[in-house]
Amino acid sequence: MKITFLGAAREVTGSSYLVEADGVRFLVDCGMFQGGRETRAKNQRAFSFDPRSLDFVLLTHAHIDHSGLLPRLVAMGFRGTIHTTRATCDLLAVMLPDSAHIQEKEAEYANLNRFRKDMDRRDKKRGLPPRDIAPLYTVAQAQASLKQLNPIDYDLEIAPHPQVRCTFRDAGHILGSAIVEVWVGEGAGRRKIVFSGDLGQPSRPLLRDPAHIHDADYLVVESTYGNRDHKSMEATQDELVEAINNTIEKKGGNVVIPAFAVGRTQDMLYLLADLTRQGRIPKLTVFVDSPMATAATEITYKHMELLDAETHALMGKHGGAAHFRKLNFVEDVEESKSLDRITGGAVIISASGMCEAGRIKFHLRANLPRRESTILITGFQAAGTFGRRLVDGAKRVRLLGEDIPVRADLYTLGGLSAHADRTALLAWLGHFRSKPRRVFVVHGEETVATGFAADLQTQFGWDAMAPEPGFSVVLE
């Protein structure tokens, strides 16, 4: 069996692993690289193989850094089946077309910019204009890729190929997220490889805790927060209460929350409702300004059976609306624009979570220069992203073609991460009853992934390593 680490190798985005064994070839995840100018080129050359040669794809969850290149894979000839959980299928129906729309708009914007810059040069040289930049994929191609999805229930063994069996277990990361157990081969030569996907933090709102796995011949495990622990939920709630009350009650400003449309938006609605119920914050006027977040929230309540008991009790059939002064899911673009004329008293939750695209850019442009406003960072900010620059303390930023001063308060609520922290990762790994032959640490920035691999060698005595991008290994 051979595994090639195509992405999320000593970095956090672009998750994709090619497995070749016993006459079968398949991918686990097909994620987009995100953050920084170089990612477009990385996404364009992401496939070092012929997509037509793949038998199938196993997808751990719907986040774009795990699923975002599926439309490109299909457009380049992949004709097999994409196996994933039912909730993930529902989320992809929203997220992949949305991603494609962003690709189309960014290509359109880039071409317009190039046209303007090259006007004088073309006039002088009488040369041909440069070839248009094409989007990674189109909305039509994203829609086409959805036809190849096969929805799978948790804990049900399937056979995507005569030589392969696999089971999806609840990863507790986002709705529908999965740990994938894969058995390759038959009889004495059968080997088991486990892909953790992204593991959730136990005892967090909405979702159940990650399922325990007890054995594997080979393990591919994430390490996003392998070098640190999150704040406790109690400390996180205290900081959220401080940010809300200081901004809304004392300063009279707005609270702008860049939030991943899937997972974090629903977490925030739960926490704001719960803190209001406890009397710790006033009833709020909340705008969820992301059509994808609205759709994801609807999908979340469609799959109530996947949510934990506390969520059922608090949110009920009405999504906790009774706990808000006003809860408005914004769809119309003009209504979205009008939010930037609100000078105080609003909580605006908008995508994207790393501030790289979408309506959040406009709300940041309007609120970053305001001392009375607050920006709440609620999730991991990958290196090179706009959100990372804010977290790193930028005093001025370039946004939507403008130079913007950063005067708003900034809070980073690390305790809300959908990723397991160091303690939770080690606890999850501690449930293995036998030592894997080899462990591959992925989905972490280079120093984090290599450090966590060293920790597994020390603490568990495991043969662990953090593979470099493109690394291939043959496993017996």
Residue spans in the chain of domains classed CATH 3.40.50.10890: 233-416
What's the rounded Cα separation, in Å, for the pair 250 and 244? 9
Question: CB–CB of 16/30 below 8 Å?
Answer: yes
**In this predicted structure, what is the pLDDT of residue 131?**
64
Secondary-structure percent of the chain, ordered helix, strand, coil, rounded to 5: 40, 20, 40
Which residues lie closer than 8 Å to 361 by C-beta, 6 or more apart? 355, 386, 399, 400
**Given strand 464-465, what is the order of strands in its sheet?**
158-161, 164-170, 178-184, 191-195, 218-222, 438-442, 464-465
pTM summary value: 0.88
360 vs 91, 295, 337, 356, CA distance in Å? Answer: 20, 17, 11, 8
Cα(73)–Cα(30) distance, rounded to whole angstroms? 8
Q: How confident is the model at residue 301 (pLDDT cuts 50, 70, 90)?
A: confident
Rounded to the nearest 10 degrees, how much is the dihedral formed by the CA atoms of 184, 188, 189, 190? 10
Amino acid at 89: C
Q: Distance (Å, rounded) from C-alpha 22 to C-alpha 215?
A: 22
DSSP 8-state code for residue 31: P
For residue 115, the model assigns a pLDDT of 66
Residue 128's CB is within 10 A of a number of other CB atoms, namely: 7
DSSP tag of 421:
B
Element (H, E) at 425: helix 422-429
Query: Residue 345: pLDDT above 60?
Result: yes
Per-residue model confidence as pLDDT tens digits over 90-149: 999 999 998 999 889 888 887 887 666 665 555 445 555 556 788 999 999 999 999 999
Whether domain 233-416 has CATH 3.50.50.60: the reply is: no
Residue 34 has pLDDT above 60, yes or no: yes
pLDDT in tens, 38-64: 888 899 998 999 999 999 999 999 999
Instruction: Decide: 439 and 6 in contact? Cβ < 8 Å.
Output: no
User: CA–CA separation, 333 vs 116, rounded Å?
Assistant: 26
Average pLDDT, the chain: 92
* Pairing mode of beta strands 16-21, 2-7: antiparallel
Q: In this predicted model, what pLDDT tens digit does every residue of 387-434 receive, in sequence order?
A: 899 999 999 999 888 999 999 999 988 788 889 999 999 999 999 999
Strands 56-58 and 81-85: parallel
Burial 19-48 (b: 16+ CB within 10 A, else e): bbbeebbbbbbbbbbbbeeebeebbeebbe
Joined tokens for residue 323: 């706990």
Residue 352: the pLDDT is 82
Q: List the CATH code of the domain at 2-227+419-474.
A: 3.60.15.10
How would residue 254 be classed by pLDDT, with cut points 50, 70 and 90? very high
- Judged by DSSP in three states, 352 sits in coil
Report yes or no: 337 and 212 within 8 Å, Cβ to Cβ.
Answer: no
Percent of the chain with pLDDT over 90: 73
Q: Is residue 22 within 8 Å of 163, Cβ to Cβ?
A: yes
Q: Which whole number is the average pLDDT over 275-284?
A: 95
Q: Is the peptide bond before 196 cis (omega within 30 degrees of 0)?
A: no
Of 201, 165, 163, 160, the residue nearest 183 (C-alpha)? 165
CA–CA separation, 209 and 259 (whole Å): 21
Question: Which amino acid does the sequence have at 374?
Answer: T
How far, CA to CA in Å, does 283 sit from each of 64, 277, 323, 347? 33, 9, 7, 11
Separation CA 1–CA 121 (nearest Å): 54
CATH 3.60.15.10 domain position(s) in the chain = 2-227+419-474
Q: Is the predicted pLDDT of residue 326 greater than 90, yes or no?
A: yes
Q: Mean of the pLDDT values across residues 217-239?
A: 94
Residue 231 in this model has a pLDDT that exceeds 60: yes
Q: Which two tokens stand for residue 82?
A: 């994409």
